[in-house]
Amino acid sequence: MASYLSAALNLSTARHCTLPSPRSFRLPPIRNSCYKPSRRLTLFHLGIAIPQSQLFGAKGSEVFKGDGQAIEATAAGKPAQANSSVTEQNLMDWVKNDTRRLLHVVYRVGDLEKTIKFYTECLGMKLLRKRDIPEERYTNAFLGYGPEDSHFTVELTYNYGVDKYDIGNGFGHFGIAVEDVAKAVDLIKAKGGKVTREAGPVNGGRTVIAFIEDPDGYKFELLERGPSPEPLCQVMLRVGDLDRAIAFYKKAFGMQLLRKRDNPEYKYTIAMMGYGPEDKNAALELTYNYGVTNYDKGNGYAQIAVGTNDVYKTAEAIKLYGGKIIREPGPLPGINTKIVACLDPDGWKSVFVDNVDFLRELE
């Protein structure tokens, strides 16, 4: 199943970015259509391979053309033009009331055991589960600060024989809330971790932060906060048009704009997007650097997974509000978990997962 999903999700990234393809980077082969995955091969392998192909064809209850006009089927089965304003309002209302949360973030690492050791010993995460898929030549590990059915987690993917990835300059960092940043930094140093910004107040503010890097070079921002039910609190991505990105994540993803801050002295603006208050939920931090519209996304970071009650309606909203569907909504072969995968206007990938199917797969 992994190769099928790799083909479905990891096609071309943003039009603005070219992924490096070193000869040493070996990918799982695409299997033929008769390959039947076991139930253990769940939807979470969506980010393990480099772009390969596009899949199209699944249908939702409505299909939106590129200009945003809705086409619905009549009782006779023939297409009829729908009232676009009414349809759009209904879809907007549904998105707002959909049960959504950030499930996990997927990225690739070159030494799985070394990374697990760093995350558990230095960052205080727990190894929730680990799965080796030798026939597809990769291993997954899920880590976090609580059960997957209620917490945001990381999914690490190790592809056999691949020990290095290009992170690019589009991905920013992950955020972790800690009660004492200075103490956390001392622990990380004692364990041999790399600290790139010592503990201290953020520029222009009072929040104490620090920056570190994991063994693969992924950056983590440590933020000093009180006890939090969701310590894994941020994923930061850079975008080329902040207003466009905010509008897309509000309308298509149903996120709230939690806060927005402009930093003219340092020539950047950030917008925090999410499904609830930052002190209780993981958030997506969108960063716009003045005058920069394109970023290299590399081949390390993969995507974020989001829960939804209906992947078909989710696909309609994504299409309507400027996203690109790269894996049409529908069940995955062999396990029947329903998903839809998409790109935002900047080319960042996300996958929406049916909430009921997600809980079933965790059993």
**Both tokens assigned to 206:** 């009072």
Give the other-Cβ count within 10 Å of 237's Cβ: 20
Handedness of CA 148, 347, 112, 145 (dihedral sign): negative
Specify whether 221 is catalytic. yes
The answer to whether the annotation marks 221 as part of a ligand binding site is yes
CA–CA separation, 337 vs 358, rounded Å? 7
Catalytic pick among 62, 221, 278, 328: 221
**Phi, psi torsion values for 116, nearest 5 degrees:** -60, -45
User: Which tokens hold the place of 330?
Assistant: 């529908």
Place of tokens 């690019």: 168
- Is 213 labelled a binding residue? no
Report how far apart, in Å, the C-alpha atoms of 20 and of each of 28, 97, 193, 335 are: 17, 40, 27, 33
Flag whether 155 is marked binding: yes
Q: How far apart are CA 42 and CA 45, in angstroms?
A: 7
Cα–Cα distance between 154 and 148 in angstroms, integer?
A: 10
Catalogue the active-site residues: 221
Residue stretches of the annotated binding site for Zn(2+):
155, 173, 221
